[in-house]
Chain A
Amino acid sequence: MVPVDYYVGLSAVLFTIGALGVLIRRNPLIIFMSVELMLNAANLAVVAFGSVYKTFSGQIFVFFVIAVAAAEVAVGLALLVEIFKSKKNINVDDLNSLKG
């Protein structure tokens, strides 16, 4: 049996990579991938704890997260297509119309 610490450690490493990716990268597609990475890091931790406590709740929860993430990606990619249509560019550093 692999101890739960390893799973948690892997999950933390994956989450950190994802977070850094969201903060550092400029391509929105990569940012989406990083977001997916963070979600999956969280999923990994949830199922790990689920197996430790001998419960299916974790897996059910993860199942919902995967479904919601898929929907989110669909919405996000649609937004990207629209942004690209109006700006001909999807570099996030150029998208600052929220500036106060």
Chain B
Amino acid sequence: MHFLSEQTFNGFYFLAPWLVFAPVIGLLINLFFGKKLGEKTVGIVASLAAGTTFIVALLLAYSVSMNHGEMHSVKLAEWIHIGALQLDWTFRVDSLSTTMMLVVSGVGTLIHIYAIGYMHEDVRFKHEEGRFNLFFVYLNLFIAAMMILVSGDSYMMLFVGWEGVGLCSFLLIGFWYEMDTLARPSWANSNAAKKAFITNRVGDFGFLLAGFLMFWYLGSFQFDEVFHAAPEIAHSMPWVIVAITIFMLVGVAGKSAQIPLYIWLPDAMAGPTPVSALIHAATMVTAGVYLVTRSAPLYSLVPQAQYIVAMVGAGTALFAATIAVGQYDIKKVLAYSTISQLGFMVAAVGMGAYVAGMFHLMTHAFFKALLFLSAGSVILGLERGHHAHAHHDHKKESDSEASRHRRSQETSHSKHGGHDSHEEVFDPGDMRNMGGMRKTMPVTFWLYIIGTLALAGIFPFAGFWSKDEILLDASLHFPVVYGLLTIAAFFTAFYMGRQIWMVFFGEARSDPAKHAQESPKMMTVPLMVLAALSVLGGALNLPFEGFHNLTHWLSYTLGEMHGLPLNLQVAGISTALALTAIFISWLIYGRNPLKAGQIDPLKKPLGFVFTGMENKWFVDEGYGVLVIKPFKWISQFLADVIDWRFWHDFVHDTVIAGTYNWISEIALNRYADQKGIDAFANWLGDATQWLSATMRKVQNGFVRSYALSVLLGVVLILGYLIFK
């Protein structure tokens, strides 16, 4: 790593703000000129913006390695200076943050390119072509927010990014806000977006509480200052650090979809597939893992909290993996798989195996983005088959352009006028509608296989190395976590095998699957890059003497660490289990492929267990009964009884308005006004009248009497003057 110069290298740190500026400039261009630029240019501008971020991240990583991993902070502006609160807008460039930057911007750029092709078709299937550039505006905004998150030098700057990515997540889940995933008019997608946002709000509340505690007891938000002050507090008031880390775990559970707040992630699949890949698999959801890794100095002070984090992660890993077995939607399987894999990462960082967690974060970003994007390719392939088939059947026309045009008008008409009578709604995401797609979509098929093998942890794909490192660490210190994660790994291989057999093997179970078409180069090329990374990603941190590159790289930031050597026993067990699971899935789903309309062959032998998996163990319903219903009841009670009847009717109308009326009527009107002010004014009038009536008698009209008055007056005044 350090081969060029021994003196400090002041390289490219000054570029750090461009991590955020580049995507912001991209989004501004697309926001204001998107309509004029056309789809191609919008896509290119957005991808260039993301690509610039990647290049900046590369240069920063290069600078860090030139400086032997020394942390460098780049102050952009003063932010908040109030009393003891001193916050600056400072970018932190060290080996951990550059790792995250590289993952986010690298995977992000590939997904931007993929999305040009994907959204081009998606907006046409949904007859909303005007929304194309908005998608890229949101996507660039996400990159900017994520860069703030990973490059912030303080918990508050991290929090700004944290909320920013939450906002982008909300906007993009609800991108097709007025329809459901099948483009029928519905609020399902906006409800999914709201669910994600509100669930994250619960988590963010935990994060905020952690932040407040941190500022109160440790006196700062800045990472180094917090870490510097923490050991002393941990000695005098250990509960403070425990509370901070546990509250932070609540935030992590929200953002990284861990028990008990994972419920939003499966619903988040309502967003367009590039979003599912970028935000809800590869980058945003790993923010929690990054947060725990970043806070490693805090977590290492409190083993109890570490244990809780590890247990939450391991529990989530197994729980979500079992649900994934019972899902039929291709993206839902991947969503639960993501939750499960995030569980692996959280468990790893909880155990203190930060490098293993970050390693798995990186490889997972590669292969899960690959899987999601391939799934998107499958869905669009079915969608194409569906449309081609639809007008093949109904129109029998040779000119496909004209018929597509006519059909789009027809459908947009039926969208407004009710539902299509001669065409039942077709779900292109349902695996029961697929089958046999290895023949129709061969490129996607092979890409999917690579992603699956990487996720299942088969040697020598990336997932094998990273998962193994986590399992190895767990086997040494946390046998319970090790057990849970091993079973989860078994389920992982099983549900991925099930998916492969259901989607790509056997016979097509629907007409669209029969007529599915391969995706264009624009979409498959980024996938090939991701596939290459999924194959070779393990090379980042091979568990052999002299390799451990990532361990070495991250130890610049996280302190001295030693990579563990490969343990053949652990690796052998997990590989054997994965292969067994794939074999079992072949026995069930591969040997006798599913027929159209056939129920899942697992349903009969497993009975109610499978029903539980199918229905996500009724967690949403459980939350409905335990949280939503009481919450609604309390809101109803508060609104109706407390607010309306007590507060409005009783306090306002009866007590306040009544008292006011009484005071004004009795006290003010009757006594003060009528008997006081009025009486005085009337008396004044009466007195004046009486006085004038008396005085007018003097005015008798006789000049002589006036003269006499004058004379008397003169005599009096003179007399006074003389005799005074």
CB of B711 within 8 A of CB of A92, answer: no
Partner of A100 from B696, B703, B708 at Cβ < 8 Å: B696
Q: Write out, one digit per residue, whether chain B residues 697-710 have a CB within 8 A of any chain A CB (1) or not (0).
A: 01111111001100
**Whole-angstrom CA separation of A99 from B703 in the bound complex:** 10
Bound form: Cα–Cα A22–B704 in Å: 7
> What residues of A have a CB within 8 angstroms of the CB of B696 in the complex?
100
Q: Are B703 and A92 in contact (CB under 8 A)?
A: yes
Instruction: Indicate if the CB atoms of A100 and B699 lie closer than 8 Å.
Output: yes
Contact B707 A98 (CB under 8 A): no
Q: Which residue of B lies closest to A96 (CB)?
A: B701
Check if A97 is an interface residue, CB within 8 A of chain B: yes
User: Which A70-100 residues have a C-beta within 8 angstroms of B?
Assistant: 92-93, 95-100
Taking a contact as CB atoms closer than 8 A, the residue among A22, A23, A97 that contacts B701 in the complex is: A97
Distance of A37 Cα from B704 Cα, bound (Å)? 17
The reply to whether A95 and B703 form a contact with Cβ atoms under 8 Å apart is yes
How extensive is the interface on chain A, given as a class? Answer: 10 to 19
A23 near B708: Cβ-Cβ < 8 Å: yes
Q: A10-33 toward B: CB 8 Å interface, digit per residue (1/0)?
A: 000000000100110000000000
- How long is the Cα–Cα vector from A19 to B715 in the complex, in angstroms? 12
State whether A19 touches B711 (Cβ < 8 A): yes
Tell me, in angstroms, the Cα distance from A95 to B703 when the chains sit together. 8
B699: A residues at CB distance < 8 A:
98-100
Q: Which of A19, A23, A92, A96 contacts B700 (CB 8 A)?
A: A96
In the bound complex, CA of A19 to CA of B701 (Å): 19
Q: How far is the CA of A52 from the CA of B19 in the complex (A)?
A: 115
Q: Are B702 and A23 in contact (CB under 8 A)?
A: no
In angstroms, Cα B707 to Cα A23, docked, is: 7
Name the residue on A nearest B707 (C-beta): A22
Q: Which residue of B lies closest to A24 (CB)?
A: B704
Q: Who on chain A is nearest to B706 by CB?
A: A98
Residues in A with CB closer than 8 Å to B711 are 19, 23
Chain A's closest residue to B697 (CB) is A100
Task: Report B592-620 CB contacts with A as 1/0, cut-off 8 Å.
Answer: 00000000000000000000000000000
List the B residue with the shortest CB-CB distance to A99. B701
The answer to whether B701 touches A98 (Cβ under 8 A) is yes
Nearest residue, chain A, Cβ from B708? A23
Closest to B711 in A: A19
- B707 with A93: CB separation less than 8 A: no
Chain B residues closer than 8 Å to A96, beta-carbon distance: 700-702
In the complex, which of the residues B698, B702, B708, B711 has the most CB atoms of chain A within 10 Å of its own CB atom? B702
In the complex, chain B residues whose CB is within 8 Å of the CB of A92: 702-704
Interface of A is mostly: loop
Binding site of B, secondary structure by majority: helix, strand, loop or mixed? loop
* A98: chain B residues within 8 A (beta carbon): 699, 701, 703
Q: A71 CB to closest chain B CB, in angstroms?
A: 20
- Complex-state Cα separation, A59 to B701, whole angstroms: 37
Q: How far is the CA of A77 from the CA of B699 in the complex (A)?
A: 25
Q: CB within 8 Å of A: which of B676-724?
A: 696, 698-704, 707-708, 711
Q: Are A99 and B704 in contact (CB under 8 A)?
A: no
- In Å, the complex CA distance between A100 and B702 comes to 11
Contact bitstring B619-634, A, C-beta under 8 A = 1, else 0: 0000000000000000
Chain A residue, CB-CB nearest to B695: A100
Contact A93 B702 (CB under 8 A): yes
For the complex formed, measure the closest distance between the CB of B424 and the CB atoms of chain A, giving whole angstroms.
106
Q: Which chain A residues in 21-56 approach chain B with CB under 8 Å?
A: 22-23
Cα–Cα, bound, A19→B703 (Å): 13
What residues of chain B lie closer than 8 Å to A97, measured between beta carbons?
Answer: 701
Q: How far is the CA of A40 from the CA of B570 in the complex (A)?
A: 147
In the bound complex, how far is the Cα of B702 from the Cα of A93, in angstroms? Answer: 7
**C-alpha gap A67/B181 in the complex (Å):** 118
Q: Which of chain B's residues have a CB closer than 8 A to the CB of A95?
A: 701-703
CA distance A92 to B711 in the complex (A): 18
How far in angstroms is the closest Cβ of chain A from B565? 127
Give the docked Cα–Cα distance between A53 and B699 (Å): 44
Chain B contacts for A93, CB-based, 8 A: 702
Task: Kindly state the separation between the CA atoms of A30 and B457 in the bound complex, as whole angstroms.
Answer: 144
Within 8 Å CB of B703, what residues of A?
Answer: 92, 95, 98
- Chain B residue at minimal CB-CB distance from A28: B703
Per the bound structure, the CA–CA distance linking A28 and B550 in Å amounts to 133
Instruction: Note all chain A residues with C-beta closer than 8 A to B708.
Output: 23
Query: Are A99 and B707 neighbours in the complex by a CB distance under 8 Å?
Result: no
Q: Which residues of B contact A100 (CB under 8 A)?
A: 696, 698-701
Q: List chain B residues, Cβ under 8 A from A19.
A: 711
User: How far does the Cβ of A35 sit from chain B's closest Cβ, in whole Å?
Assistant: 10
B384 to chain A, nearest CB (A): 110
- B699 closest partner in A (C-beta): A100
Give min CB distance, B703 to chain A, whole Å.
6
Closest to B696 in A: A100
A22 contacts across to B, CB distance below 8 A? 704, 707
A96 to B704, CA, bound (A): 10
Distance between Cα atoms of A1 and B704 in the complex (Å): 39
The distance from the CB of B223 to the nearest CB of chain A, in whole angstroms, is: 97
Assembled-state Cα–Cα distance A6/B326 (Å): 144
CB neighbours of B701 from chain A (8 A): 95-100
Cα A17 to Cα B708 in complex, Å, equals 14
Query: Which residues of the partner chain A approach B698 to less than 8 Å between Cβ atoms?
Result: 100
Within 8 A of A (CB), among B223-277: none
- In the bound complex, residues from chain A placing their C-beta under 8 Å from that of B704 are 22-23, 92
Question: How far is it, in angstroms, between the C-alpha of A99 and the C-alpha of B702 when the chains are bound?
Answer: 7
B690 → A minimal CB distance (Å) = 15
Taking CB atoms, residues of chain A closer than 8 Å to B700 are 96, 99-100
Assembly CA distance A76 to B708 (angstroms)? 19
A33–B700 alpha-carbon span in the complex (Å): 24
The CA-CA distance from A95 to B700 in the complex, in Å, is: 10
- B710 CB to closest chain A CB (Å) equals 10
Residues 470-521 (chain B) with a chain A CB within 8 angstroms: none
Among B698, B703, B708, B711, the one with the most A-chain Cβ atoms within 10 Å of its Cβ is B703
Closest to A25 in B: B704
Instruction: Report B-chain residues with C-beta under 8 Å of the C-beta of A23.
Output: 704, 707-708, 711
Known: A23-B711, A95-B701, A100-B700. 9 other contacts (CB 8 A): A23-B707, A92-B703, A92-B704, A95-B702, A96-B701, A98-B703, A99-B699, A99-B700, A100-B701
Q: Please list 24 pairs of residues, one from A and one from B, whose beta carbons are closer than 8 Å in the complex, sorted by A's number.
A: A19-B711, A22-B707, A23-B704, A23-B707, A23-B708, A23-B711, A92-B702, A92-B703, A92-B704, A93-B702, A95-B701, A95-B703, A96-B700, A96-B701, A96-B702, A97-B701, A98-B703, A99-B699, A99-B701, A100-B696, A100-B698, A100-B699, A100-B700, A100-B701
Report the 6 A-B pairs with minimum CB-CB distance, sorted nearest first: A99-B701, A100-B699, A96-B701, A98-B701, A100-B696, A23-B708
Q: Please list the residues of chain A having a beta carbon within 8 angstroms of any beta carbon in chain B.
A: 19, 22-23, 92-93, 95-100
